[in-house]
Every structure is written in structure tokens, then in C-alpha cells.
Structure 1
């Protein structure tokens, strides 16, 4: 089974999201740590991900890239773990909604803010997320009912949404709103989250967060 599931990562990357998801799944997996300057751009890995980026997984003959897609895939590949609402469950609507909201509008809004990209008001309609503040408000409303995105049940959506919020608050690209801090704190108390952090920290400590700019 270990040889059937291979995880390609670097501990200073979004691979940390997938590490956490793999620990939640709890199945054995092989880890391949890649270096940004060499093995990540080598022909062997480019055959897996032509973008030369991590994370990626190989599960048998299937290859999946993109952290949100990997989380969704693993939840469906191991349904007995209960990390995705089953077919027919009304919780699948918020599950997919907020998982891909975090991968789309949140990712774009946070990236543009970090790069100080701005748009004139008349161009707002061309920006999928509208504005940074609107995106943060929507994200906060999504987690407000709690304790998780789908209500009482923890799912793969929480792995991805929580990781986005956690990374954002760490690096100052997402504000430390009380709702975000409470939600992320709940997630980080999970045994799988603690194991994942311990594994990746042992491989390479995360860089220190830079103070947020005013």
C-alpha cells in the first residue's frame, strides 16, 4: 500500500496542506522531497507535473496536482475515512462551495494583496473575487456557524480552507480576525494536523513570518 501512494513535496511549500490531508486519511504513503532548484525541474518530475511545482501525488496510475484537487481526490479515494460528505448528503454543497472558494477567490485575492496589485474601481467587474475585503467577509461568514465548514463534521474542505487561513495569518496576508483565529485553532488541535506539522518541521522549518505591512 505504501508504494501505491506517493507524495511529492517540499516542506516549505503548499505541500504542507497535502501532508496534513494524508495524515487525516491515515493510509501509508511514500514521501519524495524535491528541491526547488534541481529535482523539481528535472525531467522525471516534469513528467508528473509539467509545471515543475509541488505538491503532487501518484495513487496507482493516477496523478493529481493542485492542493485543493488532491484534498478532494483523497477524500473520495478513501470514503471510509469520512472526509467528504457522501453522495446525496446536502453537506456536499458547502463542502465543494467553500473548498473551491478558498482555491479560487481567496487565493487570488490574497496573492494580489501580497503583490500590491490594485485595480481601478471601473475594472472591479473583471476581477473574480470583487475585492479583498469582500472576499475576507465571505470567508468569515462561511466558517462562522462552525465548528467546521460543513457544520459539525470535519472534512477535507477544512484542511484546505484552514490552511489558507493559517498561512495567510502567518505571513500577514490575511487579517487575524477573531473568527479566523478560533477556527484555525480548532483545526490545529487535531492529532493529524499536529503530526503533519511535526513531520514537515523536522524536514525543514518554515521561514519566520514577516510582519504585515500597514
Structure 2
């Protein structure tokens, strides 16, 4: 099997990929990059010209963008059943919420965090529309079944659940019961607990007061 390496930082979206790798239970290596010059060094920019983590290398293959990494890993390790079968009706649902989160939800929560104006005057021109519309749409995905694809836990739950958890933590998502219940359900997974411990162990020591 080709070697699999995760380039990450414990204070980044690399935590999402770490969780997914723990769910997959496959061998992988971790290379931690610090923000600043290390992520902008020529050898890393050759992997990701954005100079951002996470990035994975899988043999000679390079994948950037967290949603793309999740989709790639779930498909490559299809036997782990972290994506619906290609001919399953749930495959469309899987794609829908994976990329809804990468697009509208990411935009809406960023706008909330940084005070960007989204209102009736410009909502039709941006992918997320109004903030409340994005949240309402997301809530519909979480009320009918335990996971986004019904009873099957998938890589989309790793990706979407991570964004919801951070949104609740940083107050960019309203603490709706559906959001809180979903995150609490995901946090009990053994792989999620393992991944959190592994990444927390890499965090810098607090500076003494």
C-alpha cells in the first residue's frame, strides 16, 4: 500500500482529516507544520500553492482542500464503508451535504465571524444566501435520521459535524437543538475521541502568566 502522510497543524482543519483517518483505521504519518514561514516554504508550496493545511500525500498523489481529502479517502478505502455505494440513492445526499458545508456553510459562518454584510440587498448574489436560510437548510439534514445518510455514518458526517462543532464553539452557528444533538452524538465515537487526544497532544504548551 502507498504511504499516506497528513500535513497538518493541531489548530487547523487538519483535525477533520485526522478524525477521518482514525475512522478509517489505516496506517498514516503526520507532519506538523507551523503557521508562517514553514507553510510558505518552497517544498510545501510545491504540494499546495495556497500554503495551507491540511494536505495529504498518498504515494505520488497530492490532495488539498479538506472536503476533497475526505471524499478521496472515503472512496479509496471503500471497504471501510465511509461513503455510500456509488449506485446508492444516498450517494447524492452524501455529496450534497459534503459540498454544501464546503460552500454555503463555510461562507455563511465566515460572514458571521467577520461581520460581513449579508442581507436582502446582496443575498441573491452569494452562494449561501441569507445566514438564516443556510442554517435552516442545514437543520433539515439533521432532523430525519441519526446521520446525514440515514443510519450510515460517513465521511460527510466527519466533515459537516466538525464544522458544526466549531460553529457552536465560536458562536458562528446558533445553538439549535438539532445542531447540539448531532455534535454530541458524533463526539462519542471512539475514533473522534482518539483523534482529539492525538491532536491535543500536539498543541503548544500554555505560556506561563
- Cα gap change, 1:166/1:205 in structure 2, threshold over 3 Å: closer, same or farther? farther
When normalised by structure 1's length, the TM-score is: 0.93
C-alpha deviation, 1:206, in angstroms: 11
C-alpha distance in 2 between matches for 1:151 and 1:163: 18
C-alpha distance in 2 between matches for 1:23 and 1:181: 23
C-alpha deviation, 1:175, in angstroms: 1.3
Q: Deviations over 1:139-196 (max 9, x none)?
A: 0111111200000000000000100100110111111111101101111110110000
Q: What residue ranges of structure 2 are gaps of 5+ in the alignment?
A: none
Please state if 1:124 is matched with 2:123.
yes
C-alpha deviation, 1:128, in angstroms: 1.2
Please state if 1:171 is matched with 2:170.
yes
Q: Which runs of 4+ in 1 moved over 4 A?
A: none
C-alpha deviation, 1:122, in angstroms: 2.7
Aligned length in residues: 206
User: Contact between 1:56 and 1:64, CA under 8 Å: does it hold in 2?
Assistant: yes
C-alpha deviation, 1:120, in angstroms: 4.8
C-alpha distance in 2 between matches for 1:173 and 1:122: 21
When normalised by structure 2's length, the TM-score is: 0.95
User: Contact between 2:118 and 2:131, CA under 8 Å: does it hold in 1?
Assistant: no
C-alpha distance in 2 between matches for 1:135 and 1:102: 10
User: Contact between 1:12 and 1:206, CA under 8 Å: does it hold in 2?
Assistant: no
C-alpha deviation, 1:121, in angstroms: 2.0
C-alpha distance in 2 between matches for 1:126 and 1:197: 37
C-alpha distance in 2 between matches for 1:100 and 1:25: 21
C-alpha distance in 2 between matches for 1:71 and 1:101: 14
